[in-house]
Amino acid sequence: MPASSERKHRSAKDVTAAIGRLAVQNRRTIIVAVCAIVFVTLLEDVLAGDLMRIDQAAYALVVEGLRSDWLTPIMEAFSTLAEPLTLVALWLMIAAFAPGRRPGACCALNLVLVVALNQALKFAIQRPRPEGFALAAETGFSFPSGHSMAAMAFFGLLVWIVWSYRQDRLVRWCSVAAFSAIIVMIGLSRIYLGVHYASDVIGGFCVSLAWLALYTRLVAPIFLGPKPNHVGQAADRAHAAR
């Protein structure tokens, strides 16, 4: 390879590496910005009273395409995972067994504040729920989805706790996969049961994900203490420094 081409290739590689490092260093800012853009975009259509294409597509795919006698109990079970009684039971287990100094208090404060934020947003926006095809009885407004916000806030915080405080890499990856799947399935179940539009679920996910980006930076470390300097974090930092 000619010297000039080699220098250009090295320069492009250095720029790419620098962009990657910058993205990692500012990942929370990026998450908050992307979530805010998506939420505001959805909110504009919600306030205009429009039924979005994503809502129509989700209805055709999930409600008309997937509903069946055997799948409905499964979806109801996933939806129950974001119910208050279930979350309280899970919170008690976290308070007893999760790593960190005060994981129970950390999770409780997170969930209480997210529920309050959800109710404030629902009251301000006042979007009616879908009508005519619900498989479950629900009251209140629709946007953003409370179950989706609670799922992302609660199980998303567990993802962060396990990733930050557990040393076993297999446990970390398996936990992230399991909790992420639960979050997605809870959101999907709300569309399947006909109690929320897809835009309600996506909006709820965006609000809670942006919230988590701030909560895990400013509040969670106060309750949980410093992260252990285990192998996984060292590998993550080495990867980010490349």
What is the model's pLDDT at position 169?
87
Cα–Cα distance, 1 to 153 (Å, whole number): 51
Neighbours of 207 (CB within 10 A): 24
Cα–Cα distance, 229 to 242 (Å, whole number): 19
Element (H, E) at 94: helix 84-97
Q: Which of 71-85, 133-147, 191-205 has the lowest mean pLDDT?
A: 133-147
The pair phi, psi for residue 8, each rounded to 5°, is: -65, -40
Amino acid type, 208? S
Tokens 């007893």 label which residue?
A: 96
What is the model's pLDDT at position 241?
44
Average pLDDT, the chain: 84
- The separation between the first and the last C-alpha atoms of the chain, rounded to the nearest angstrom, is 23
Average pLDDT over residues 101-109: 88
Q: Which residues contact 98 (CB under 8 A, 6 or more apart)?
A: 104, 107, 158, 161
Q: Which of 138, 127, 140, 136 is nearest to 199 (CA)?
A: 127
Q: Which of 206, 222, 197, 84 is nearest to 134 (CA)?
A: 197
What's the domain count of the chain?
A: 1
Q: What is the pLDDT of residues 200-232, one digit of tens each?
A: 999 999 999 999 999 999 898 988 877 776 544
216 vs 237, higher pLDDT: 216
Average pLDDT over residues 54-74: 91
- Quickly state the pLDDT bin for 140 (edges 50, 70, 90): confident
Neighbours of 95 (CB within 10 A): 15
What is the model's pLDDT at position 15?
56
What is the model's pLDDT at position 145?
94
Q: Which domain holds residue 167?
A: 3-241
| 1, 22, 241 from 9: Cα distances, Å | 10, 20, 19
Is residue 145 within 8 Å of residue 187, measured between CB atoms?
yes
Cα–Cα distance, 145 to 42 (Å, whole number): 13
